[in-house]
Amino acid sequence: MLKKIRQFTALDVEQKSVFVRAWFLLGWMRAAMLMVSFQRLSASLHHHRQPVDSPTLHPRQLEQALSIGKLVAAAARCTPWQSRCLVQVLVVQRLLAKRNIPGQFYLGVRKEAEDGLEAERLAAHAWLQCGHCIVNGAVGHDQFAVLSSYSWDQTE
């Protein structure tokens, strides 16, 4: 716990602000996902059945996007509720859209063997990309087949 406090106090004012906002948004988004459909939560986004090309970002935008992705992941590790990949991706998307930083996120699946059983089950994962960099959800994303992608404009 002390380590987390030291890490938080080492952040600059802007990073602290993003972290705290992300922590609250993670709770709001987790509750929203339990109460409303994903279709409703993603209504303002552009849905693509196939991956789309990423717009080129200014280096400053990419730096901001990567920082936001890390701060949301850090905030997710501090929540008393589950803040898994899809919740994190939706929070990162909203924070990026507020800063007019375009990107897209992907929803993927893979087959996974159940412990000690012959049956398989599906596992899902979400990850968000800006430019050619994965901003959130990078770990293991390459093991999932993309089902859908969602993007947003710079002018949202």
Give pLDDT tens digits for 80-112. Answer: 999 999 999 999 999 999 999 999 999 999 987
Residue 115 predicted with pLDDT over 70: no
Range with lowest mean pLDDT among 10-19, 65-74, 76-85: 10-19
Range with lowest mean pLDDT among 10-14, 19-23, 124-128, 148-152: 10-14
Q: What local confidence, expressed as pLDDT, does residue 3 receive?
A: 82
Percent composition of the chain: helix, strand, coil (DSSP 3-state, to 5): 45, 25, 30
Question: 77 by DSSP, 3-state: which?
Answer: coil
What's the first-to-final CA gap in the chain, in angstroms?
37
133 forms bridges with which residues in the sheet? 130
Q: How sure is the predictor about 54, in pLDDT bands with cuts at 50, 70 and 90?
A: confident
* Greatest alpha-carbon span in the chain: 52
Q: What local confidence, expressed as pLDDT, does residue 116 receive?
A: 61
Q: What local confidence, expressed as pLDDT, does residue 156 receive?
A: 43
Contact 126, 85 (CB under 8 A): yes
What's the whole-number mean pLDDT along residues 50-79? Answer: 92
Q: Which long-range contacts (CB under 8 A, 24 or more apart) does 19-25 make?
A: 19/71, 19/74, 19/75, 20/75, 21/95, 22/68, 22/71, 22/72, 22/75, 22/76, 22/91, 22/95, 23/75, 23/78, 23/79, 25/91, 25/94, 25/95
